[in-house]
Amino acid sequence: MKLTGKVAIVTGAASGMGKAIAQLFAAEGAKVVVSDLNVDNASKVVDEITSNGGTALAIAANVAKEDDVQRLVDATVAEYGTLDILINNAGIMDNFVPAGDLTDELWERVFAVNTTGPMRTIRKSLPIFLEKNGGVIVNIASAGGLNGSRAGAAYTAAKHAVVGLTKNVGFQYAPKGIRCNAIAPGGVETNIAASMTAPNPFGAERAMIGMQLNPRVGKPEEIAKVALFLASDDASFVNGTVVTADAGWTAY
């Protein structure tokens, strides 16, 4: 097993990619904190993990709230003694709203979850990693963080910011034994679309132009395997970069 004895936090882990990552990490020997706004579903994931012989704990947390981030990491350390792996998976969509129709409220809400949330969890985790001269961070970015129109303006900008944050943290803390990488998934079967209410017609039309080029939609388990690689010692020489997992969609 690749993560024996490690402690991992996975945000947005009640469903989709986060759930798949939490389950795979637990199967690989990690003690996993399943964090999500929906603590009931997070608890169901914990039940599945423990029924399969794994170790997991559900903690309700909204990564857009500093108090929740503080409590999440503190509770993890109180329960398991340390933190080794941070997976920033929690995210929301933006209804494909183009720049001309953006409101401050939508911009700030998308950035609060998709960018400020990862910054806060990283900021809170770094003192733990620095003390033991080791730690791994994996941010779930997006193909929208590498290209211009896989979503609306807010989501696109927020995920580009996650890519920049990843590279900055990866390089600056490399001498301290800390690695920070990101995954840029293409289309994956998750429930993130539930965070959309009424897609903007113009923005959706422009974003969907490239869908005909998408070779296929991925499974959450396929992203989880990439996260496992980056979180494990197999990726010891991989730092400050983005791994694209999209069946070749963005290669065109």
Catalytically active residues are 155
Q: Could you give the C-alpha distances from 27 to 5, 49, 84, 91, 146, in angstroms and in order?
A: 12, 8, 16, 24, 31
- Note whether 151 and 93 are within 8 A (CB): yes
Angle at 158 between CA 155 and CA 159, to 5 degrees: 85
Question: Cα 84 vs. chain centroid, distance in angstroms?
Answer: 16
Whether 89 contacts 12, CB under 8 Å: yes
**Distance set, CA 99 to CA 142, 148, 162, 214, 229 (Å):** 19, 12, 19, 25, 36
